[in-house]
């Protein structure tokens, strides 16, 4: 309950008593980073997330009140790799003087086709690109979808908190070590689950290509109709091509995601006779009452849906 209050009630943050031990004000750009930071900072930090559960952090439109979350923060946690162009603009205009932690620092990003993603700020240095841009290669920002890289995020976040609040070092390091160990165990579980799927069936159709790192880490091929976006529909030819591929390769795993428009996926389901096997969480967590309120729960939820769907099990 407390962590919910800390995340979603900025008034609480402002109202903290000055004589109590001041908690370190930390702001995360979106829900997944907020959860990771909470696991490490615990009660020692006062945490805010700018983009909340089920909110698309790509095309996020910050409100004027979100600027206060930056102005008052000692530490801002962002993903980087062009994921949060809106945040970079906010930082420039907010007079933010704290420490900026980029969780993907030190990661070698995989590359993706710019036009293959939806019309948001990926790799665009704050410039919105669209489908007329062509197959330009940009860094894929969705590195959290690999639990090995998730452990790298944990190290970067912990280092950032320690630098800003050296008095909390022992706590941050202890929490970070325990958390990284849980993520390593979860990574092994994901691998064991995927191993239950015959290699030729490790294919998933989903609505936007957020799972490139997941695919590389765990040996699953993800297909998304080219041009699928919250803002632009793929052409009939693109959808037709994907439908032919689904039929030719006997793909049975068809999914929606929590922040994207389901219309195209429903059309593919109709024309292939496949059932949409549920909703994957890609770029945002669910609300506390949903199936993926934490980064760890997101993996358990996604993989628990993916495996029977790829196997073609009746569900
Ligand atoms: Zn995305």
- pLDDT (0 to 100) of residue 8: 47
pLDDT band (50, 70, 90) for residue 65: confident
- pLDDT (0 to 100) of residue 315: 61
Q: What percent of the chain has pLDDT over 90?
A: 62
Which residues make Cβ contacts (< 8 Å) with residue 292, sequence separation at least 6?
258, 281, 285, 286, 298, 301, 302
> What distance in angstroms lies between residue 235's CA and the mean position of ligand 1's atoms?
20
pLDDT band (50, 70, 90) for residue 56: confident
pLDDT above 90: residue 81: yes
pLDDT above 50: residue 70: yes
pLDDT above 70: residue 19: no
Contact 109, 81 (CB under 8 A): yes
172 in the Ramachandran plot: left (φ > 0), alpha (ψ -120 to 50) or beta?
alpha
Q: 150 or 66, which is more confident?
A: 150
Q: Residue 168 has which token pair? A: 């909390």
> What distance in angstroms lies between residue 159's CA and the mean position of ligand 1's atoms?
26
> What distance in angstroms lies between residue 15's CA and the mean position of ligand 1's atoms?
35
> What distance in angstroms lies between residue 246's CA and the mean position of ligand 1's atoms?
22
> What distance in angstroms lies between residue 211's CA and the mean position of ligand 1's atoms?
8
Residue 23 phi/psi, 5-degree rounding, is: -80, 150
> What distance in angstroms lies between residue 62's CA and the mean position of ligand 1's atoms?
17
Range 130-134, long-range pairs (CB < 8 A, 24+ positions): 130/232, 131/227, 131/229, 131/232
Degrees (nearest 5) of the Cα angle 40, 41, 44? 155
Tell me the range of 85-89, 208-212, 237-241, 294-298 where mean pLDDT is highest.
Answer: 294-298
- pLDDT (0 to 100) of residue 6: 45
> What distance in angstroms lies between residue 143's CA and the mean position of ligand 1's atoms?
10
């Amino acid at each position: 309950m407390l962590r919910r209050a800390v995340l979603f009630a900025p008034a609480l943050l402002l109202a903290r008593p000055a004589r109590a031990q001041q908690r370190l004000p930390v702001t995360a750009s979106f829900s997944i980073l907020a959860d990771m930071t909470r696991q490490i900072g615990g009660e020692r930090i006062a945490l805010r997330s700018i983009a909340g559960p089920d909110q698309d952090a790509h095309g996020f439109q910050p409100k004027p009140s979100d600027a206060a979350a930056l102005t008052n923060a000692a530490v801002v946690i962002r993903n980087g790799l062009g994921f949060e162009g809106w945040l970079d603009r906010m930082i420039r205009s907010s007079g933010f003087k704290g420490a900026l932690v980029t969780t993907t620092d030190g990661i070698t990003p995989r590359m993706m086709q710019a036009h293959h993603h939806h019309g948001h700020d990926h790799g665009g240095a704050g410039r919105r690109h669209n489908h007329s841009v062509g197959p330009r290669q940009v860094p894929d920002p969705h590195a959290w979808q690999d639990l090995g890289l998730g452990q790298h995020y944990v190290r970067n976040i912990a280092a950032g908190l320690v630098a800003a609040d050296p008095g909390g070092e022992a706590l941050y390091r202890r929490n970070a070590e325990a958390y990284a160990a849980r993520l390593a165990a979860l990574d092994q579980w994901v691998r064991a689950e995927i191993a239950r799927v015959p290699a030729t069936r490790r294919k998933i159709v989903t609505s936007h290509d957020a799972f490139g790192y997941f695919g590389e880490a765990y040996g699953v091929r993800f297909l998304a109709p080219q041009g699928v976006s919250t803002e632009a529909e793929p052409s009939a030819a693109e959808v037709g091509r994907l439908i032919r591929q689904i039929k030719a390769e006997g793909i049975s795993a068809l999914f929606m995601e929590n922040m994207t428009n389901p219309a195209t996926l429903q059309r593919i389901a109709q024309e292939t006779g496949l059932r949409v096997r549920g909703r994957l969480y890609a770029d945002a967590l669910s609300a506390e009452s949903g199936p993926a309120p934490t980064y760890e729960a997101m993996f358990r939820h996604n993989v628990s849906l993916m495996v029977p769907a790829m196997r073609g099990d009746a569900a």
